[in-house]
Amino acid sequence: MDLKALYKISYGLYIITSKKGEQINGQIANTVFQISSDPATVAISINKQNLTNEFIRESKVFGVSVLAQEAPLSIVGQFGFKSGKDVDKFQGVSYKQGISGVPVITEHTLACLEAEVINEVDAGTHHIFIGRVTNAEVFLEGTPMTYAYYQQIKRGSVPPTAPTFVPKQAEGTEKMDNYVCNICGYVYDPAQGDPENGVAPGTPFDKLPDDWTCPVCGAGKDEFAKE
């Protein structure tokens, strides 16, 4: 069975936020979809292990911030590969409080919406939250980040708790000059370099600056292994 067939399903890339009392948290998600228009209703899928899941179940509200295609990998790493149990994910990030009290991200995003949970479905490792949209706002016109663009162009990855996570399978002969981050799975391809961080295409891994770090999770070069 070739689970890469699942990659052909279309997804976006979003920051889901919620609150618990005075606390706020957020995470990256790629499962957000509209169910109906009257009333406007959306659904999201959140892993049960994630802190954001706990916050949504407690407050019954959530926010969705739509990432722009040009958003840097660092913001995906901030909200996708770190835990709100350990760090303040909103440090250094521009956001505002929505009408429901949930934070919505205002940088590198095109739009946001807020929703009130009206139903919850147990989906094994995840909860599916169905929410009635209570507010929506467009910040910028542009192209939303898609999961395909994130993987193929940005060369990003997803954590094991993501609904679209697929373990790596043996694929036969691979290029041996790519390097993979042991922490988040980001692939450094010398042919593409890391232009967002000043590394020109054609730069081999061993020629990267000593202080270069993974553009997704911030891991150092010593956390990379040849693919």
Give the model's pLDDT for residue 169: 47
State the burial class of residue 91 (Cβ atoms within 10 Å of its Cβ: 0-12, 13-18, 19+): exposed
**Please, which residues have CB within 8 angstroms of residue 159's CB and are 6 or more apart in sequence?**
80, 81, 165, 184
What ranges make up the beta strands (E) of 38-108? 40-47, 61-67, 95-97, 103-105
Structure tokens that stand for 38 in this block? 């009257």
- The angle formed by the CA atoms of residues 88, 89 and 90, to the nearest 5 degrees, is 90
Here the tokens at position 11 are 């997804």
- The sign of the CA dihedral 78, 84, 88, 91 is positive
pLDDT value of residue 41: 97
What was the pLDDT predicted at 171? 47
pLDDT at 170: 44
The pLDDT, as a whole number, for residue 83 is 86
> What are the φ and ψ backbone dihedral angles of 60, each rounded to 5 degrees?
65, 25
Q: Which helix (H) or strand (E) holds 53?
A: helix 51-59
β-strands 95-97, 61-67: how paired?
Answer: unpaired
**Consecutive sets of 10 residues in the chain, 227 residues long: mean pLDDT of each?**
75 95 95 94 96 97 96 90 88 95 96 98 97 96 88 60 50 64 89 88 92 92 92
pTM of the predicted protein model: 0.77
Q: Residue 114: what residue type?
A: E
